[in-house]
Chain A
Amino acid sequence: MSREIGEVILDLKNVSLAFGGVKALTDISFDVREHEIRAIIGPNGAGKSSMLNVINGVYRPQQGEIVLRGRRFARMNPYKAAQAGISRTFQNIALFKGMSVIDNIMTGRNLKIRTNLLLQALWWGPARREELAHRAKVEEVIDFLEIQHIRKTPVGRLPYGLQKRVDLGRALAMEPSILLLDEPMAGMNVEEKQDMCRFILDVNDQFGTTIVLIEHDMGVVMDISDRVVVLDYGKKIGDGDPDAVRSNPEVVSAYLGAGH
């Protein structure tokens, strides 16, 4: 493996998040190292998605701080997160259903577009050159994810598994350094899951992208992740490599169940 796990790139310190009286996250700390695949697991309502939302600034925790590449953020917001190279996919696909695959992935390049609206509307001069360059990048993503055959299909007409792949494509188009995946394999059949696993591993391997993912499929998590954080009722109950987590009695009783 040429991929080597590096220093801590993202560090969450004592994060607590509450919605009124409901405590979603209580005093959670964990870190993510560069180039690793970090999984967050836990039963329904454990606070996994809230955790991702905290990382990219959708939610603002009442306590705690996020340290991203040595910079402290008491308050992250989605724009800052995106600028800092964090992109994400969503549990319930957030794509423009009426737009084609290309256009959807192109929206992932939005932050990188430099020319102004007027030039873009006229599609003239620098705007045109810029769009061609972005389009070339989008084509690389399409090639990477092997979705050439649906390039011009409206996303709403695609099967669920492919929509998930397009969602990943949109996130990849940002050329992120950290990729947050919220249940990338939910609702997929075995074959689609295998494909998705391969793409996640390839992204991590070829681009060195750090990946934080939430996933319910234990087989998948244990197979592809380097380290796993386990949440239960908003608390961290386990953290470590897959084998350590699997043999942690607290995790077993809370999540994996007696049958495992």
Chain B
Amino acid sequence: MPELASTQALDTFPRLLFHHAQVRASKTAMREKDLGIWQCWTWLEVAAEVRALACGLAEMGFTRGENLAIVGDNRPRMYMMMAAVQCLGGVPVPLYQDAVANELLFVLLDGEIRFVFVEDQEQVDKVLEIQAQLPHLEHLFYDDARGMRHYTQAFIHDVRELMAMGKIHHRNHPDLLAEAIASGHADDVSVMLYTSGTTGKPKGVRLTHRAFIAAAQGGVDFDDLTDSEDILSYLPMAWVGDHLFSYAQAMVAGFTINCPESAETVMNDLREIGPTYYFAPPRVFENLLTQVMIRMEDASRVKQKMFHYFMAVARRCGAEILDQRPVGLADRLRYALGRMLVYGPLKNVLGMSRIRVAYTAGAAIGPDLFRFYRSIGINLKQLYGQTETCAYVCLQPDGQIKFDSVGRPAPGVEVRIAENGEILVKGAMLLKEYYRRPDATAEAINADGYFMTGDAGLFDDDGHLKIIDRAKDVGKLANGAMYAPNYIENKLKFFQHIKEAVVFGDRRTMVCAFVNIDIGAVGNWAERRGIAYSGYTDLAAKPEVYGLIEECIEQVNRELVGEGVLGDSQIHRFLILHKELDPDDDELTRTRKVRRNFVAEKYAVLIEALYAGRQSQFIETAVKFEDGRQGKVAADLVIRDVRTFPLARKAA
């Protein structure tokens, strides 16, 4: 491999890639299911394609330090393009594939992007829609040629043309790539990831090779990952989690990434691949569990009985057995039998038979959900991190899993809690800067070099970090009691019937809530009770559904009473929204976090009704459909009061 001199340290991703192409040349690096068959690329083949891509880009005039946007689903060639750009000292900028044209516009302008690589016609159309507003755009490459026959614009190219050009270029300039890689530096920016922007416009987070390799290496060492791991790469490439797990760690450890056939086939592909290492946000685990539970309700009585009996056994001792803590012989035998009859087959159906380590992050995970997976023997752990820290701050060590904490600071990471409760972190994995935002960079990194996460948290007695809320969201009720909205919302969202919740209470006399029901779970619940409904709006307005949600909220109130200072945050009144909160309507971020202020503003009339004590409120809302058309949803929303519980105040 001429690209890599043996004296070079493996401190950039291109060097790592060409290193793997030498030492594990014939090992599978990437797989993708295409036309029903898993197609494989060895490390040697990946290196060859990356070389062709990189040389092609060089031929087209791509320069060092320049940004290149990547938009599409997880495809091997998308990952290869990242490596190719890095070879030339450029910065790949992966974007969310479901972003609408306007969201792309912001990033393409902000990054002064000349080169864009997209997956298919759909993405090409999006770029063409905003082409007139993109003075910098020069070349648009696509991976999937389907439907592209009639696009005659000269700046649109099939990526295969680029690669063919690259091969010729490489023959004529055989040393160029090696020189480009040799002049790369660990402190060069390796990738720019845009933060989802819970607040204001997205910011481009610039992360160096050194940072991402440190984070990846730390994770690989922490869990003893080897080059024989298999991971399913199905989360958006623009998300830091995917970049760490599917790109950085795979590059560091040399394991195999597997790209699903399409977004709809992920479940099947998961089963076929049987990954050994798995990463998913909590909602994926939640959906899987919901599906299992729905299917169990349709199972025969005998199966149901067996399932529930052994799940009770697993709840009692499964997690303990996984953590290798002492468990009585009788339970051990029952668990072994359960593994044969229930847990084993269940894991197989979930595609989790081979999993050694699974991680979840990005949002809080419900204790029941978390316990469920651990109890059937899946080593599911939590981690904590954000885009600015390469998603690498805290990890839960094997055998020391606590449901309400995110684990200990990861190797090489220093964590401190500021006086206001904010979590501060420092280490090699920190961002270099926000792109063209020195003000934001200065704001995020304090004088001592700590990154201010914006999360409020505390360490427990064992040194495990517990996240309470966003630091800026933590407020006070009118009576001065502490109020942590996300904490309450998460409690609500842990119920399978509640998909989203938004609570209000800062500087107010009481806490009130908006609820989105989970149409799958509640729809199923309604069907079983013979409640007819025509759609989300109709179902959400049913008195029976209100009753169901009221019970959930009452349960939350009961829990909150027992949590001291948070007891004042019991929910007094709630309503069920007539439409689902949706990123297309800007109510959620692309990673499905609620934009609290935006929602509060948009539905101000509802909030007013909640606090004015009204029993119902009419509202009409504009919605955007997937095909871009606009429509309106109107409803008369019922508002309900919920039972609250008296606080056991200390006798004054």
Residues of A within 8 A of B (CB): 1-2, 135-136, 139-140, 142-143, 146, 148-149, 151, 194, 202, 205-206
Nearest to A150 among chain B residues (CB) is B264
Contact: B268 with A139, CB < 8 Å?
A: no
Nearest to A140 among chain B residues (CB) is B35
Known A-B contacts: A1-B150, A149-B264, A149-B268. Give 12 more (CB < 8 A). Answer: A2-B149, A2-B150, A135-B36, A136-B35, A139-B36, A139-B37, A140-B35, A142-B36, A148-B261, A148-B262, A149-B262, A194-B627
Query: What separation, in Å, do the CA atoms of A142 and B264 have in the docked complex?
Result: 14
Q: Which residues of B contact A135 (CB under 8 A)?
A: 36
Q: Which residues of B contact A1 (CB under 8 A)?
A: 150
Query: What separation, in Å, do the CA atoms of A205 and B147 have in the docked complex?
Result: 9
Contact: A146 with B150, CB < 8 Å?
A: no
Q: Which 4 A-B pairs have the closest CB atoms?
A: A149-B264, A139-B35, A139-B36, A149-B265
Query: What separation, in Å, do the CA atoms of A149 and B268 have in the docked complex?
Result: 8
Q: Which residues of A contact B37 (CB under 8 A)?
A: 139
A206-B149 in contact given A148-B265, A149-B265 (Cβ < 8 Å): yes
Contact: A143 with B35, CB < 8 Å?
A: yes
Interface size of B by CB at 8 A reads 13
Q: Which residues of A contact B262 (CB under 8 A)?
A: 146, 148-149
Beta-carbon contacts of B127-161 to A below 8 Å, as 1s and 0s? 00000000000000000000101100000000000
Contact: B149 with A151, CB < 8 Å?
A: no
Query: What separation, in Å, do the CA atoms of A151 and B150 have in the docked complex?
Result: 30
Query: What separation, in Å, do the CA atoms of A2 and B149 have in the docked complex?
Result: 9
In the complex, which of the residues B36, B147, B264, B627 has the most CB atoms of chain A within 10 Å of its own CB atom?
B36
Chain A's nearest CB lies how many Å from the CB of B151? 12
Nearest to B34 among chain A residues (CB) is A143
Query: What separation, in Å, do the CA atoms of A151 and B272 have in the docked complex?
Result: 14
Cross-chain pairs A/B with CB under 8 angstroms, 16 sampled = A2-B150, A136-B35, A139-B37, A140-B35, A143-B34, A146-B262, A148-B261, A148-B262, A148-B264, A148-B265, A149-B261, A149-B262, A149-B264, A149-B265, A151-B36, A206-B149
Query: What separation, in Å, do the CA atoms of A85 and B265 have in the docked complex?
Result: 33
Beta-carbon contacts of B292-304 to A below 8 Å, as 1s and 0s? 0000000000000
Beta-carbon contacts of B603-643 to A below 8 Å, as 1s and 0s? 00000000000000000000000010000000000000000
Q: Which of A139, A149, A151, A202 contacts B147 (CB 8 A)?
A: A202
Query: What separation, in Å, do the CA atoms of A206 and B36 have in the docked complex?
Result: 21
Query: What separation, in Å, do the CA atoms of A96 and B416 have in the docked complex?
Result: 65
Query: What separation, in Å, do the CA atoms of A149 and B263 have in the docked complex?
Result: 9
Query: What separation, in Å, do the CA atoms of A205 and B585 have in the docked complex?
Result: 35
Q: Which residues of B contact A205 (CB under 8 A)?
A: 149
Q: Which residues of B contact A148 (CB under 8 A)?
A: 36, 261-262, 264-265
Query: What separation, in Å, do the CA atoms of A2 and B147 have in the docked complex?
Result: 12
Query: What separation, in Å, do the CA atoms of A32 and B335 have in the docked complex?
Result: 70
Q: Which residues of B contact A140 (CB under 8 A)?
A: 35
Nearest to A151 among chain B residues (CB) is B36
Query: What separation, in Å, do the CA atoms of A31 and B149 have in the docked complex?
Result: 29
Nearest to A135 among chain B residues (CB) is B36
Chain A's nearest CB lies how many Å from the CB of B454? 39
Query: What separation, in Å, do the CA atoms of A112 and B614 have in the docked complex?
Result: 71
Q: Which residues of A contact B34 (CB under 8 A)?
A: 143
Query: What separation, in Å, do the CA atoms of A135 and B34 have in the docked complex?
Result: 13
Q: Which residues of B contact A139 (CB under 8 A)?
A: 35-37
Chain A's nearest CB lies how many Å from the CB of B404? 37
Q: Which residues of B contact A143 (CB under 8 A)?
A: 34-35
Query: What separation, in Å, do the CA atoms of A139 and B35 have in the docked complex?
Result: 5
Chain A's nearest CB lies how many Å from the CB of B195? 32
Beta-carbon contacts of B2-37 to A below 8 Å, as 1s and 0s? 000000000000000000000000000000001111
Chain B's nearest CB lies how many Å from the CB of A192? 13
Chain B's nearest CB lies how many Å from the CB of A219? 15
Q: Which residues of A contact B265 (CB under 8 A)?
A: 148-149
Q: Which residues of B contact A206 (CB under 8 A)?
A: 149
